[in-house]
Structure 1
Amino acid sequence: MKKITILDTSVGTLNMGDEIIVDSVNRELKKLFKERTMYIKLPTHERISRYSHRIINDSNFSFVAGTNLLSSKHNLIRGNQWRINLLDANKFKNVILMGVGWNNYQDNPNFYTNLVYKKALTEDYFHSVRDSYTKEKLKSIGITNVHNTGCPTMWELTKEHCSGIPKKKAESVVFTLTDYNKNPEKDSKMIEILNKNYNKVYFWIQGSEDYEYVNSLSNSVIFVNPTLRSYDDLLESDEDLDYVGTRLHAGIRAMQKKRRSIIIGIDNRALEKQKDFSINVLERDDISNLEVLINNDILTDINLNMDSINAWREQFFTHESLV
């Protein structure tokens, strides 16, 4: 029997976007490892215990489940979003990145970060990263066994799938904002434009402080509860619905459900995905252009790098006893 460990970025998270990512990671891994496979989940937001180390070492593979948890300045004692240190990294076996990204635009990794990542990440298999920026950051510290696959949330956004996403504006919209990256002036302008152009305006509470922030800006929105199930229920309903917002993976989830989506770019994640994969992004600094954009036809045409995705997948097919 195979043992697959998922280093799960959604355990203990205050951001429901992590659940969107891990849902897609689970889907893709179950395509790869179909029979007689036990999946074990360990948190990335907590320190690695002795028990967790034993599970990792007993597993055939351990996959780091997406998000932007890599950073140029890894904390010496507690790590960053990925709570590991050099002692942890030295004990790892077959730890593989799966659609992981870099925390933000940063300087090149420092010496300690170099040591931790080179020890933690296997040299024997290719890693999957979410954009070319992350690939270049890893290359700068000598980690070159990397494919730029994009996030697993995007791997099913094929030409055929995207052809089913409407081009024209819907009657209603669901939007998001980001509690840790606020711009009251621009965010209020976005809400104003949405209220002017849509009959119903929903707000999905993705982060732990989103509700308080939006309440400080507007009293004219319909709140969607902070669970992925609640968001999916809206996306899967008969409501004629667009997505607009600063939360990248809320927008990708909407595209998964064949909803027209405009990502409002506020950091490196959306901007790098726009460069690499042609997702529809409007930078928040240009929010005054939103009204024109939403009232025009929008083509969703994601430029997936299927060669990289398939190359990353196929490395596991060579181990016939494992797949």
Structure 2
Amino acid sequence: MLKTSLTLPENVTQTSASSQVCLLDPGMEDHNDRPSENLGDLIIQQAVLREMDSLFGSQNIVKLSTHAPLEETQLQMIQASSVAIVGGTNLLSSNMNHYNQWKIVLRDALRLRKRVLLLGVSWWQYQGRPNLYTLALLHLALSYKGSHSVRDNYTKKKLQSIGIRNVINTGCPTMWPLANLQPDAIPQTKATSALVMLTDYSKNIELDQKLLELATSHYETVYFWPQGAGDHDYVTSFNLPVTILERSLPALENLLKSDVSLDYIGTRLHGGIRCLLAKRRALILRIDHRATEIAQETGLPSVDRADFAFMERWIREPFMTKITLDTTAVERWRQQFRTKLA
């Protein structure tokens, strides 16, 4: 078993530390392991579990949901762990007493006692300075000894603005395998079919209809994968000729593993990243700060959702995908848990 050197809370020594590690998992809708309603969370979950299994071994990991409040049982499980890792998504905000995708409150943070490390976490959206409640919550919950992994510089600066400086911008863990991607591994020219994704919570009927019309006019077959719970009903409302996949991660995986010649174009960030991982040509349409921040730091292929002139060129003309990741930062985050093998 891989030996670990964990970032421990103040009152736990290395010799007495539990070997149990807690994952606070956005891919779980509740503490009973029911999958998240947003299948993009499951794409993030896959990446987080890849890292956790590599560092700790799956038998040492207990999983709790970030979507559900912590009750006494869950708090005791975290306290019995040597470290708790929050695995991804944009669950930090400037007003966590009003909007908290990570369902903890101040009294929970008091019990966490600086035990939590972040892995690929980002800010919910562009916001003002974090309020005092958020400052107190994060200072109580987050470790000040270990290094926190965030997926963009905006989040890093937000945390540093409230005095949390032990932060590394590693990019999103879903993208880490792309560090080894050769530019010629992904086709540069238009495929025969397209995979389109839309976002149920960020609808723009005019632009989304124009996107579907663009895709159906340029590709022989247009597939649609409903990542969110409302995506299926939304796309059917346009009454355009698209082939709708089952709303499951295996349905997406099966299409990507098939021999269908396929481009991705859509507003779902992690759906698009999953297509890149499958060596499919992909263009992510920016609907919020997440793709904007990640793209400007990594070269993730993206464009504003209203820039149809660029989309036309991307479809018609050769386009080279070149992703740049800070692998040194990724290794710094991993290395805090490792000891050299004898």
Task: Report the TM-score range of the alignment, normalised by the length of the smaller protein.
Answer: over 0.9
SS at match of 1:66: strand
The more displaced of 283-292 and 169-178 is: 283-292
Measured at CA, do residues 319 and 108 of structure 1 come closer, stay the same or move farther in structure 2, by a change above 3 Å? Answer: farther
Aligned-partner residue type, residue 294 of structure 1: I
Q: CA deviation at 1:283?
A: 0.4
Q: CA deviation at 1:288?
A: 4.0
Determine whether 1:33 maps to 2:52: no
Q: CA deviation at 1:215?
A: 1.1
Does structure 2 conserve the Cα–Cα contact (< 8 Å) formed by 1:25 and 1:152? yes
- The answer for the alignment partner of 1:59 in structure 2 is 81
Structure 1, unpaired ranges of 5+: none
Determine whether 1:233 maps to 2:286: no
Does structure 2 conserve the Cα–Cα contact (< 8 Å) formed by 1:186 and 1:287? no
Aligned-partner residue type, residue 5 of structure 1: C
d(CA) in 1 for partners of 2:200 and 2:97? 24
Aligned-partner residue type, residue 91 of structure 1: R
Q: Which runs of 4+ in 1 moved over 3 A?
A: 159-163, 318-321
- The answer for the alignment partner of 2:95 in structure 1 is 73
- The answer for the alignment partner of 2:13 in structure 1 is none
CA-based RMSD of the aligned residues comes to: 1.6
Determine whether 1:6 maps to 2:23: yes
Question: Deviations for 1:30-80, whole angstroms, at most 9, x for unmatched residues?
Answer: 12124x84221101111101111111111122111100000011126xx61
d(CA) in 1 for partners of 2:302 and 2:81? 39
d(CA) in 2 for partners of 1:75 and 1:320? 44
- The answer for the alignment partner of 1:84 in structure 2 is 104
Q: CA deviation at 1:199?
A: 0.7
Measured at CA, do residues 127 and 86 of structure 1 come closer, stay the same or move farther in structure 2, by a change above 3 Å? Answer: same
Q: CA deviation at 1:296?
A: 1.3
Aligned-partner residue type, residue 20 of structure 2: K
Does structure 2 conserve the Cα–Cα contact (< 8 Å) formed by 1:17 and 1:249? yes
Does structure 1 conserve the Cα–Cα contact (< 8 Å) formed by 2:179 and 2:327? no
| Structural mapping, 1:88-237, within 5 Å | 88-93=108-113, 94-237=115-258
- The answer for the alignment partner of 2:15 in structure 1 is none
Does structure 2 conserve the Cα–Cα contact (< 8 Å) formed by 1:159 and 1:301? no
Equivalent residues, number: 318
Q: CA deviation at 1:95?
A: 0.9
Aligned-partner residue type, residue 54 of structure 1: Q
Does structure 2 conserve the Cα–Cα contact (< 8 Å) formed by 1:70 and 1:102? yes
d(CA) in 2 for partners of 1:187 and 1:223? 16
d(CA) in 1 for partners of 2:137 and 2:279? 40
SS at match of 2:90: coil
d(CA) in 1 for partners of 2:170 and 2:324? 11
